[in-house]
Amino acid sequence: MNVILIINDTFRRDHLGAYGNTWIKTPNLDAFAQRSAVFDQAYIASYPTIPNRWDINVGRYGFPTRGWEPLSPEDVTLAQMLSAQGYTSQLIYDPPQLGYHNFDYTRGFDAWWWVRGQHADPYITDPNIPTPLPAQRHKLRSVMGTQLYLRNQGSLRHERRYKVARIAQAAIDWLETNYNHDKFFLSIDMWDPHEPFDPPWYDHALYADPEYAGERLLYPQYGRWDYMTPDELANVRALYAGQVTLVDRWVGYIMNTIEKLGLFEDTLVIWTTDHGHLFGEHSLEGKPGGQLGNLYEITTRIPLMAYHPDGIGQGKRVNGLVQPQDIMPSILEGIGMEIPAHAEGHSFWPLADTGAASKRQFAFSGRFPPIVGGASKQPAVGHLFDGWAGSQRIVEAITGTSDRWAMIASPQGRESELYHLQADPEQRNNLSGNEQETESDMRSAIVDFLQEHGATDERVRPFQDGIAELDMDQGTDLWAFKDDRGRWIAFPSQEQAVEMATSPEGDEALEVTKTTLGNLLDDDPHSLIQTHGQYYWAEDLL
């Protein structure tokens, strides 16, 4: 039996028709859902991109002990296991970091193909390609990254030149050439619909306000969202929705190729993502970190659909907690291979086949904090690919999810959050303090989980005893300017403030003033302060 694994980065579950969406066009993935088991309680574990790929490829939980880092020499990957059993294995990918700086995620594949030019891929240096900024500098997550993306894209005139189209076409070409191997493993790892959100105009137009004439925030800053206007935020949502429809169309072309070659008769096909993305929910944008890095349902609950040629779970909505660690064991069991002892996941086929209960009481989702031991192992490239944001002095909360509850367990001394998912699926009503027994049980489960999965005492201690985390006090010097709505936008250095106050064309600049955190707090607790790669409100920093 063959295996095809497709990952689309940053694909929100609630943007798929198969999961209840009614306003975004995703006909191809919705059609795939009708022939697949559709898992309704799939949750991320390690966050974000690279940590998630480790979980999937190694079948273990990474975030208790490791962060954004390469495969370790002792790691045994799914590709290695399948290749050892005679599978012809191929990786086709465009997330640059899978092979960047020797991250080694091509390990075990007989061959691999990297579609160049995505996001922060250091690919094109041509100075003749214009890279005018599409928005004010202080609203873009990275001015340099935006310009690099625009240079890599060149002057896009045809849809077939978009990265998602190029990687899909590479996968189609490979299938048309290699479909008759005795058995093959094809892994297709696609960056889209991850930002920069830059779909063709006609996909954007499906969801955009036709009267909108503002800036094109294709790579918006993380953190508090209100450096944007509500209209700008709505347009960012429309850009992302257009990107989702673009992705659906090209994944559909891959599915059509699988169909026409007759591969659905003897091929496992799994489609999923690594996490969601915030668009104003909980007053946040993007993938923030630090004390703003709480992992809510929008980020943690992901789509997962699995097709088995024997029809297991076909067209069914499958209950039961599943996580990325379950993909490897499910593939191995699906093709009749033994699941290795080191795997920490479980096959999800019994849930889809007989309605068996999940072997998990909780799903655990988190990010490894740089402040805790092991930071030296993390190459200084994660920030280029949105691998982290927020102060490196902050230990981020861990989310534990059960059938009924989601607890965002912060280190002691910082507020935790508790939500009843059935009564409050949008997580608007924080019940922390009202359900003390539930909170205590879930915090204990999170601490036990960390310890059982090799976390050091240094990693666990913040959740037992707390940790000093403040970066600023009211006397901290900041440099600020007022935006076109009269709101303070502040930065830790004068140099950064002057750069961000400069117009996109570089010919004008807003006046920069030296101030303090306390002054901004007195003027407006929601004054915006850009530090550690994201926006905070002044009141967040005390």
Q: Is residue 271 domain-shared with residue 390, that is, in the same domain?
A: no
Confidence label for 391 from pLDDT (cuts 50, 70 and 90)? confident
The CATH number covering residue 459 comes to 3.30.1120.10
The tally of CA atoms less than 13 A away on the side-chain side of residue 157 is 1
Tokens of 276: 């969601």
Q: Verify that 494 and 390 share a domain, yes or no.
A: no
- Give yes or no for residue 283 having a pLDDT over 50: yes
DSSP E strand stretches across 243-392: 267-272, 278-279, 284-286, 304-307, 317-318, 363-365
Helix 230-260 × helix 163-178 angle, to 10°: 10
Q: What is residue 525's DSSP assignment?
A: T
Q: Across 68-136, where does the E strand assignment appear?
A: 88-93, 111-114
Tell me, what CATH number does 77's domain have? 3.40.720.10
Does pTM top 0.75 for this prediction? yes
Q: Which of 354, 379, 395 is the last residue of a domain?
A: 354
**Higher-confidence position of 157 and 301:** 301
Residue type, 505: E
Q: Position 460: which residue type?
A: V
Residue 128 within a domain: yes
Q: How many domains does the chain have?
A: 3
Q: Which domain holds residue 455?
A: 363-465
Answer yes or no: do 395 and 415 share one domain. Answer: yes
Evaluate if residue 158 carries a pLDDT over 80: yes
Of 87-96, 263-272, 462-471, the poorest mean pLDDT is in 462-471
pLDDT at 372: 75
Shared domain check, 396 and 532: no
Closest CA to 509 of 498, 517, 520, 518: 498
Q: Give the tens place of pLDDT for each residue, 350-384.
A: 999 999 999 999 999 999 987 776 544 555 677 77
Residue 121, in any domain of the structure: yes
- What's the Cα-to-Cα distance from 483 to each of 236, 273, 487, 510, rounded to whole Å? 19, 36, 5, 8
Of residues 524 and 392, more confidence is placed in 524
The answer as to whether 267 is a domain residue is: yes
The closest alpha carbon to 431, from 412, 411, 417, belongs to: 417
Looking at residue 92, its amino acid is I
Does residue 471 lie within any of the structural domains? no
Asked if pLDDT for residue 42 goes beyond 80, the answer is yes
What pLDDT does 102 receive?
83
Closest CA to 282 of 295, 301, 268: 295
> How many residues does this entry show for the chain?
542
Residue 45 lies in a domain: yes
Please report, for residues 16, 88, 269, the alpha-carbon distance to residue 75 in angstroms, rounded to integers and kept in the order given: 34, 20, 24
Q: How far apart are CA 534 and CA 183, in angstroms?
A: 46
Same domain, yes or no, for 80 and 191?
Answer: yes
Shared domain for 327 and 367, answered yes or no, is no
Structure tokens at 515: 């101030």
Give pLDDT, residue 156.
77
Taking residue 217's Cβ as centre, other Cβ atoms within 10 Å add up to 25
Mean pLDDT for all residues in the chain: 94
Q: Are 431 and 439 in contact (CB under 8 A)?
A: no
- Of 465, 491, 524, the position where a domain reaches its end is 465
Whether residues 401 and 428 fall in one domain: yes
Residues 142 and 267 in one domain: yes
Quick one: 386 and 321 in the same domain? no
pLDDT in tens, 211-227: 999 999 999 999 999 99
pLDDT at 106: 96
Flag whether 183 is in a domain.
yes
Q: Are the C-beta atoms of residues 87 and 61 closer than 8 Å to each other?
A: no
Beta strands in 402-441 (DSSP E): 405-409, 417-420
Q: Please indicate, yes or no, whether residues 82 and 111 belong to a single structural domain of this protein.
A: yes
For 339, list phi and psi in degrees, rounded to 5: -80, 125
- The distance in angstroms from the start CA to the end CA of the chain is 57
| Tokens, residue 6 | 């497709």
* pLDDT tens digits along 77-132: 999 999 999 999 999 999 988 987 789 999 999 999 999 999 888 899 988 888 89
> Would 470 be classed as within a structural domain?
no
Q: pLDDT band at residue 190, thresholds of 50, 70 and 90?
A: very high
Average pLDDT over residues 162-187: 97
Q: 54-69: per-residue pLDDT in tens?
A: 999 999 999 999 999 9
Name the CA dihedral angle for 322, 70, 192, 56, rounded to a multiple of 10 degrees.
Answer: -20
Please, what is the Cα angle at 155 between 153 and 159, to 5 degrees? Answer: 75
- Taking each continuous run of H as one helix and of E as one strand, the counts in the chain are 15, 20
26 in a structural domain:
yes
Whether residue 344 is found in the same domain as residue 401:
no
Q: Which residues contact 210 (CB under 8 A, 6 or more apart)?
A: none
Choose the final residue of a domain: 293, 324, 354.
Answer: 354
Examine the domain organization and report whether 118 and 256 are in the same domain: yes
Q: DSSP string spanning 118-132?
A: -TT------TTS---
Which of 174, 347, 142, 135 is closest to 254 using CA atoms?
174
Rounded Cα distance between 176 and 291, Å, is: 48
Q: Which percentage of the chain shows pLDDT scores above 70?
A: 98
